[in-house]
Amino acid sequence: MENSLKDEEVLLLSLGDPSYFNILVDKYQIPFLRKVFGVIRNKEEAEDIVQETFVKIYTNARKFKKQEGIEFKSWAYKVLMNTSFTHYQKFKKIKGNLEYLDPVLYDDIPEHGSNDFSLASDAKREVSAVIAKMPEHLARVLKLYYLEDKSYRDICKEEKISTPALKMRLFRAKRLFEKLSTEM
């Protein structure tokens, strides 16, 4: 019976019986780890982010409202990416304006208070160079969603496109960004 339930139903059931939430954890833990590790490139940090994401999903379960075009999975991934972004922002405050998305840069982070900002400059230049190589419409949606943390609805209004079109653009933008960054 549990396997035939939709994620939204399992989430609602977990409010009365927390053991149901394990179904969602079992289903999403590995995909969440893959997603975060693909961005963060640090296993322990990725595990912390995924754990925090599940806590946020559970504590905010009552706020989730099934809407047209917004399923539990989309909402859960948005919580995951927002949590990842928050961790990234905290890291930037602690270690300066560095990209901790690349393990090579992560290993070479100067000690707090160091005047060595060359790594930060290099990382910013690399990210900017990759984005500059992308078509404007793809670069723009990537920046709006991941850097400015805008919702699908806001981006769709701003770009004058449908939600499915936005999802496709984001998918293509992420794929192109990964491809271009590995070529550099």
| Domain residue limits, the chain | 1-95, 134-184
Residues 174, 117: Cα–Cα separation, whole Å: 27
Quick: pLDDT tens for 34-47: 988 877 778 888 89
Q: How high is the pLDDT of residue 69?
A: 67
Residue 102 has pLDDT above 70, yes or no: no
Reported confidence tier of residue 177, pLDDT bands at 50, 70, 90: confident
Domain 1-95: give its CATH code.
1.10.1740.10
Reported confidence tier of residue 99, pLDDT bands at 50, 70, 90: very low
Q: Which residue has the higher pLDDT, 108 or 69?
A: 69
Residues 121, 96: Cα–Cα separation, whole Å: 11
Question: What is the b/e burial string over 62-90, where b = at least 16 CB atoms within 10 angstroms of the residue's CB?
Answer: eebeeeeebebeebbbebbbebbeebbee
Residue 65 has pLDDT above 80, yes or no: no
**Average pLDDT for residues 7-27, to the nearest whole number?**
92
Residues 64, 60: Cα–Cα separation, whole Å: 7
The answer regarding whether domain 134-184 maps to CATH 1.10.760.10 reads no
Mean predicted lDDT score pLDDT of the chain = 79
Quick: pLDDT tens for 109-162: 444 444 344 444 455 667 677 888 899 999 899 888 877 778 889 999 999 999
Residues 99, 181: Cα–Cα separation, whole Å: 13
